[in-house]
């Protein structure tokens, strides 16, 4: 009767990794229990998530190395992997809310979230934004409910909103990665989508466009800009190490607030549990409670399916 924070399956968004074909799921070594899925298994996973009450999935592609180039050209393929995945889910599980990543890192040989400038030492912000706006329109036309720009380019939310509205896609919402920090917790995700291999390192330096982990006020400025440009949902990423940012934003905005419990947070709980140092069931629940208690309305987490099943008991 006095418990203040309650988790429900409806709080969760399940990130899913998709690959070409209908082969067996491809386990991701650095993320125990998580696999890349072909379209058939992806649809089945969405059915199971929906049956458990998880309302949304976020899709991330893993492309073969030969399909990547320095400009991420495959991101604008009208019959690309993610677009076919969206159509397959919507055909088979129409009630599932589908979110797609708008960024170039899965498509580029260098692993950055945008195209590089002439000196090859930084992203070309404005040129990247033009590509991202076109990418968002393709995803909207495929039937996605939310486009989720994760690139952290300046001005991309306004450009994407303008492009969506101008192409008759005003009903497509934007979940903005508004406070995305240049974090050390992203390594397993880069394994999952292949950007670590492309770049040759888990520690790809994205500090020129992602936020400095030391900067609290800057995160609030970035989120306010995204809100002013038309973002429907704001996000903080990572979640666990940035609970203060989640709380700050919750107190400053009336927009829905998402938080991403990232791959490194997931992996470290599994690693400690495998060594017998932590109880996985208890710590995953506590970590998610903390994120919701801080003020998140929705949580992207690789624990979504397990937690939804646990909460149904």
Catalytic residues: 180, 237
Q: What is the 3-state secondary structure (H, E, C) of 146-205?
A: EEEECCCCCCHHHHHHHHHHHCCCCCCEEEEEEEEECCHHHHHHHHHHCHHHHHCCCCCC
The CB density around residue 184, as the number of other CB atoms within 10 Å, is 12
Other beta carbons less than 10 A from residue 256's beta carbon: 15
């Amino acid at each position: 009767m006095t418990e203040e924070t309650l988790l429900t399956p409806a709080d969760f968004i399940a990130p899913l990794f998709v690959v070409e074909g209908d082969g067996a799921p491809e386990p991701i070594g650095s993320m125990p229990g998580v696999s890349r899925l072909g379209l058939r298994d992806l649809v089945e996973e969405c059915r199971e998530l929906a049956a458990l009450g998880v309302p949304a999935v976020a899709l991330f592609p893993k492309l073969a190395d030969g399909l990547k180039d320095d400009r991420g050209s495959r991101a604008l393929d009208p019959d690309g992997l993610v677009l076919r995945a969206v159509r397959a889910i919507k055909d088979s599980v129409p009630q599932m809310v589908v979110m797609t990543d708008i960024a170039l890192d899965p498509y580029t040989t260098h692993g950055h979230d945008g195209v590089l400038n002439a000196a090859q030492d930084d992203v070309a912000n404005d040129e990247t934004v033009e590509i991202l706006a076109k990418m968002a329109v393709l995803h909207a036309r495929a039937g996605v409910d939310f486009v989720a720009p994760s690139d952290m380019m300046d001005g991309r939310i306004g450009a994407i909103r303008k492009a969506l509205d101008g192409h008759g896609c005003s009903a497509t919402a934007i979940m903005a990665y508004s406070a995305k920090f240049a974090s050390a917790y992203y390594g397993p995700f880069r394994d999952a989508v292949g950007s670590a291999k492309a770049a040759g390192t888990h520690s790809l330096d994205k500090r020129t466009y992602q936020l400095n982990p030391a900067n609290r006020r800057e995160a609030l400025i970035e989120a306010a800009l995204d809100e002013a440009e038309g973002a429907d949902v704001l996000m903080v990423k990572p979640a666990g190490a940035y609970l203060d940012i989640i709380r700050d934003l919750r107190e400053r905005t009336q927009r829905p607030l998402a938080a991403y419990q990232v791959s490194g947070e997931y992996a470290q709980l599994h690693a400690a549990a495998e060594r017998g140092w932590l109880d996985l069931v208890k710590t995953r629940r506590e970590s998610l409670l903390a994120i919701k208690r801080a003020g998140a309305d929705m949580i992207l987490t690789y624990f979504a399916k397990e937690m939804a099943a646990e909460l149904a008991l």
